[in-house]
Structure 1
Amino acid sequence: MELLLIRHAQAESHRFDDAARVLTEKGELQARSVGEFLKKNKLLPEVTLASPLIRAKQTAEIFCDVCGLDAPVIEPWLACGMRPNRAAAELKAYAEFERVAIVGHEPDFSYLAEWLLGCEAGGIHVRKASVIQISDVRPPSQGGYLQMLVPAKVHRAVSE
């Protein structure tokens, strides 16, 4: 499986209920840029999974719409606090797909990427609206190959 880790786009900085934080105008543009980048580079996922938190769900819905993809599947295990071994175990249910996108949060995605790639903790930081492509992921096992890490600034410039 090829795994695309997409961190949610920019959201409101504060709200009493963290799960209800929505994307800002900039965040909506970032999510569109993710979709344009994936479409232009023929990196469309067969299925997109998203955290139930509003900012991740909105990011996934926007880029799926831009790409003409089915709506994202909301997965509770992608909420804040996801652990790499849990993610790998849950991804096993999607092993029949060649390319899977997951939309979620930090520091969870850094931990997952480091775990899959066998990196030391603190070696990867996933910025908002970044896309990480890891190939040869075989859930629930550890392992994979980093193909790219594209921050929002770069995919926005490439898509223009």
Structure 2
Amino acid sequence: MTLWLLRHGEAEPRARSDAERPLTERGRREVRKAAERLRGCELAHILVSPYLRAQQTAELVRESLGLKLPLTTVDWATPDDSPRAAANQLDAYPGECLLVSHNPLLGSLAGLLLHGHLQQPLGLSTASLVALDGETIPGLMQLAGLYHPS
């Protein structure tokens, strides 16, 4: 399995709530750059946090790549959710999968899947894209790529 992890693009610093923070124009540009790295991938699923900036990021990826694939909103992919709980959910989505979410969840999830523990999270900037290959079992995935669009 190839698992792609995409952190949302740069978001506005304030909104009525953290969940309602939209992407900035810079964030939209970052996401479009990151999306190009996914061109040619055969995504079976696009999983996305319910937060606005993640939803906007996933929609930009879908538009940039001309995909008809639906977005699947998952409630276990918010910034404060458990990386272990998220890892346990991934087997329900076979095939090549893109998860659009936030830090610290994504950095910790990547570290968990690569190393089998939470002590070495990957450092991810906005719109960073990670490619992991292997079984979605902690410690058994391999880093296939890391892209920072800055």
Matched to 2:114, the amino acid is L
Instruction: With the length of structure 2 as denominator, give the TM-score of the two structures.
Output: 0.91
2:53 to 52, 55, 62: 55
For residue 107 of structure 1, what is the aligned residue in structure 2? 104
Following the alignment from structure 1 to structure 2, what is the Cα–Cα distance between the partners of residues 113 and 58?
22
Matched to 1:12, the amino acid is E
For residue 156 of structure 1, what is the aligned residue in structure 2? none
Matched to 2:17, the amino acid is D
For residue 37 of structure 1, what is the aligned residue in structure 2? 37
Instruction: With the length of structure 1 as denominator, give the TM-score of the two structures.
Output: 0.85
Q: How does 1:11-160 map to 2 (within 5 A)?
A: 11-39=11-39, 42-69=40-67, 70-95=69-94, 97=95, 99-118=96-115, 121-138=119-136, 141-142=137-138, 143-153=140-150
**More helix per residue: 1 or 2?**
1
Does structure 2 conserve the Cα–Cα contact (< 8 Å) formed by 1:22 and 1:58?
A: yes
Unaligned ranges ≥5, structure 1:
154-160
CA drift at 1:44: 4.4
RMSD: 1.5
Does structure 2 conserve the Cα–Cα contact (< 8 Å) formed by 1:61 and 1:71?
A: no
Unaligned ranges ≥5, structure 2:
none
Structure 1 segments of 4+ aligned residues over 6 angstroms from their partners: none
For residue 7 of structure 2, what is the aligned residue in structure 1? 7
Following the alignment from structure 2 to structure 1, what is the Cα–Cα distance between the partners of residues 70 and 56?
11
Bigger CA drift: 42-51 or 13-22? 42-51
